[in-house]
A and B are shown apart, each in its own frame.
Chain A
Amino acid sequence: MNLEATSSAAPPLGHKIASSRLWRDRIFRSILLLSIAVALLTLFTLLIDTFLEGRPRLNGALLENMPSARPARAGLQSAIFGSLWLVGITSLVSLPLGVGTAIFLEEYAPKNSRYIRLIELNIQNLAGVPSVVFGILGLAFIARGPLSWGFTVRTGAMVLTILVLPLVIIASREAIRAVPPSIRDGSLALGATQWQTIWRQVLPAAVPGIATGSILSASRALGESAPLLLLGALSFVTFNPTSLDSSYTVLPLLIFKYASDAKAEFHVVAAAAIIVLLVVLLAMNATAILVRNRFQKRL
């Protein structure tokens, strides 16, 4: 009935209105495309501009040389090793803690308890705390104060661990939640205990999701600069870390240092260092996306 009413009213007036409405639709669509273009264009400009500026210094010496006050000899070695130490330790510590918390929240915790909801709210909120605030925590409690570890690899890694922990937890929870309940029920029905079910059925099925999440967290830790500003990572370090108690610098902060230098030659080194950092990060992100795509197909 409705259809009849509209169609009988449509022909005489409808054509004109429809064409102006269609035009508006087209304009709207182009504005939307424009907003995507802003993001894409910025990304490409950034990549091309940095590449062109950094290319002259993109060579083996850049990776092998230590930081230096002379731009022609300035390299990245101690920062690369510092980043490896920090990201490595951060991943090793945050993975078991994050996955453990995720298992607890998804598999053991009572769903409607107020206490559990508080923990969940707290994790979500921690994920939104500005990263520089974690630097303040590190300065007051870890580098100085109760722990007094000083400006060392240990301190930096601990702060990065705290920083990425909420991300690992959130990603692992999603991965665990995506495992179908039928797998759990089947395992439990065959007489397995809850932990056996988790360890032998749920976790193996959740590995791709957890792997994706932890790679992304590691790349976040690798690119993080703000909290480490407060933790002594900006200092001039010309040796590689040898233990948890070594002083250190990391790639993002060395870039910060070179980029803020008054000499323009240092900006070339900064751009070259950015290319190195971005290549590593892109490789990590690509791995994460590949793992995720394979996982999606299988389910």
Chain B
Amino acid sequence: MASQSLAPSGQLLRQRRIELIVRSSLSLIGLVSVVVTIAIVASLLLPTLEFFSEISIAEFFTSKVWAPLFNPPKFGVLPLITGTFLVMSVALILAVPCGLGAAFYLSEYASPRLRKVVKPVLEVLAGIPTVVLGFFALNFVNPQIVQKFWPVGDVGTFSALSAGLVVGVAILPLMASLAEDAMSAVPNSLRDGALALGATRREVCTGVIFPAALSGIVAAVVLAFSRAIGETTIALMAAGSNPRFTLNPGSGVQTMASFIGFAGIGDQPTGSTGYKTIFAVGSLLFIITFLLNIVSIRVVRRFREAYE
């Protein structure tokens, strides 16, 4: 080693060359993710533009019938939007309070031993494939729970409610773990201060931890939102593939994501309007989730800066 540094030997030159090659090839690899994003946008954009040269934007967003693969086709995206909204709302109504509750318990109440058991179980739940959850929704939640207890009208094989409940279970671990991260980042001095002043654990949770971790919790909710909107397989299996313009969670619906999956199965001929609808709906889905992700990343960043 010492003799190398005295005179620039051949070996040292070789080292420098390796260094240069490594650095430049790694920076090329770093570009892959950027290329992917550009490719996604490009693949969505062109067919979407072609789609809107055939179908007017006004018809797309105001007509209440979605039947792009029928003859004559109808291209009103509103039923897909209400369907997505239904499944997403049910999912969030379940996942946000439960996720938050689980996070509070794990961060503020649980003993280290209990945490050691509960956290891996939540991770297992997070790792269950969506097709398995979809089967559970179709085969258990809908017949055993929704059909028996839903008060308004008869529930068929498919329902937005069963899909939404199971999507809620699917995003619950994500919600819990992100919210818990935000809560654990609250400095102990705040907790100790409140406890020393005589606050109960509950008062610490609601009066100190919740406001202090609020930005992280908001980011978690926004991310859960984006996950619920993009969930495809559960919605396709449990909510069915019948686009209905309805706000009754007991009826079967089609979401934006499940339409894409459904149309994709049908193997549309390239260039047909049916093929292009996949991209038009995909663009809508991508734009909505993209905005939600950016909001969530921004909020998390701000919250990180506050405590470091």
Instruction: Say if A and B assemble together.
Output: yes
A interface, CB within 8 angstroms of B = 6, 21-22, 24-25, 28-29, 31-36, 38-40, 42-43, 45-46, 49-50, 53, 97, 100-101, 103-105, 108-109, 118-119, 121-126, 128-137, 139-141, 144-145, 162, 165-166, 169, 190-191, 193-196, 216, 219-220, 222-226, 229-232, 234, 252-253, 255-256, 259-260, 267, 270-271, 274, 277-278, 281-282, 285, 289
CB of A256 within 8 A of CB of B47, answer no
CA distance A160 to B109 in the complex (A): 39
Which of the segments B61-69, B85-93, B256-264 contacts the partner chain?
B256-264
Q: List 23 A-B contacts (CB under 8 A).
A: A28-B202, A36-B106, A38-B94, A40-B121, A42-B125, A46-B132, A49-B140, A108-B27, A119-B30, A128-B223, A132-B257, A132-B260, A132-B264, A133-B230, A190-B1, A216-B127, A219-B127, A225-B129, A230-B260, A252-B131, A256-B237, A259-B138, A278-B128
Which of A50, A193, A220 has a CB less than 8 Å from the CB of B136? A50
Please give the number of chain B residues whose Cβ is less than 8 angstroms from any Cβ of chain A in the complex.
98
Q: Which residue of B lies closest to A46 (CB)?
A: B136
Beta-carbon contacts under 8 Å, B242-295 to A? 257, 260-261, 264-265, 267, 270, 278-279, 282, 285-286, 289-290, 292-294
CB of A225 within 8 A of CB of B5, answer no
Which of A46, A100, A136, A253 has a CB less than 8 Å from the CB of B26? A100
Q: Which residues of B contact A45 (CB under 8 A)?
A: 140
B134 within 8 A of A: yes
Which of A39, A134, A165, A195 has a CB less than 8 Å from the CB of B33? A165
Which of A132, A137, A222 has a CB less than 8 Å from the CB of B39? A137
Query: Residues 82-116 of chain B: 1 if any A CB is under 8 Å from the residue's CB, otherwise 0?
Result: 00000000000010011111101110010000000
CB of A274 within 8 A of CB of B289, answer no
CB of A136 within 8 A of CB of B278, answer yes
B78 within 8 A of A: no
CA distance A38 to B237 in the complex (A): 22
Q: Which residues of A contact B16 (CB under 8 A)?
A: 193
The answer to whether residues A100 and B33 also contact, given A255-B131, A255-B135 and a CB cut-off of 8 A, is: no
B55 within 8 A of A: no
CA distance A53 to B43 in the complex (A): 42
CB of B18 within 8 A of CB of A195, answer yes
Q: Which residues of B contact A42 (CB under 8 A)?
A: 125, 169
Q: Which residues of A contact B213 (CB under 8 A)?
A: none
B255 to chain A, nearest CB (A): 10
CB of A122 within 8 A of CB of B43, answer no
